[in-house]
Amino acid sequence: MSKTSQYVSKPSNAKGYIEWTEEENQIWSELYARQIDLLEGRACQQYMHGIDLLNMSVNKVPQLPDINAVLQETTGWQTAEVPALIPFGEFFRLLANKQFPVATFIRTREEFDYLQEPDIFHEIFGHCPLLTNPAFAHFTHTYGKLGLAASKEDRIFLARLYWFTVEFGLMKTAEGLRIYGGGILSSPGETIYALESDKPERVAFDPMTVLRTPYRIDIMQPIYYVLEQAGDLDALADMDIMGMVQKAKALGLFEPKFPPKEKLAG
């Protein structure tokens, strides 16, 4: 996780509401309109149902108390306002307490298409709809509890499991391949690339394989892991994930499917 960010989260008032500027609301509106059109027929049904349940504002940045009311009623989750970047330990602590961290800033126009830090659009639009689904909520809660108790080394392996599921997961459906990973769902480029490009590999999901697969956050993914069905994540949550982490550590990582990141000159 990066240690610095150009962004600063905005504080809420006593009622939990945030004063967004006209420009910030306009950026949200444009991001939402662009992405929601792309997701029809590409996002999984559970995500689209969550979009309907949340009924989030199209024209302005949603307020977290409104999101919280729906999450509480459906799965008992809440959002939690956080700074632009938080330590892994705090991330796991929040998930273990059924609180999904949301950095309360929105990207600038200069980074309209892509930014490395998760902003409020990524967190609310990309992730919160699936937190209304019991199976996804159960997996995320279990993941948080495991991460909170894990060693620093084990957390690195757990991060791969999160990356290839919650962030960049695909699943099979009766209608064809669909997206459930929030990192794809909030990115127009990756939405098309993940399903329609002939460049990435799409491989059946196997937790041991996933735990041993390196990834980079700043490129289109060279490989996606595909669930047979949405319930697979629910079942995964009840497996001996930490036992698999120990086996993965013993076996070691696979060779990366991407070139090393270029170092800046100087």
What are the residue numbers of the active site? 122, 127, 167, 186
Q: Which two tokens stand for residue 168?
A: 């960049």
Q: What sign results for the dihedral spanned by CA atoms 77, 84, 114, 34?
A: positive
| E-assigned strand segments in the chain | 78-82, 99-103, 170-173, 176-179, 201-204, 223-227
* H or E element in which residue 39 lies: helix 22-39
**Is residue 87 within 8 Å of 142, Cβ to Cβ?**
no
Question: Residue 99: what are its φ and ψ, rounded to 5°?
Answer: -125, 125
Distance CA 66, CA 245 (A): 37
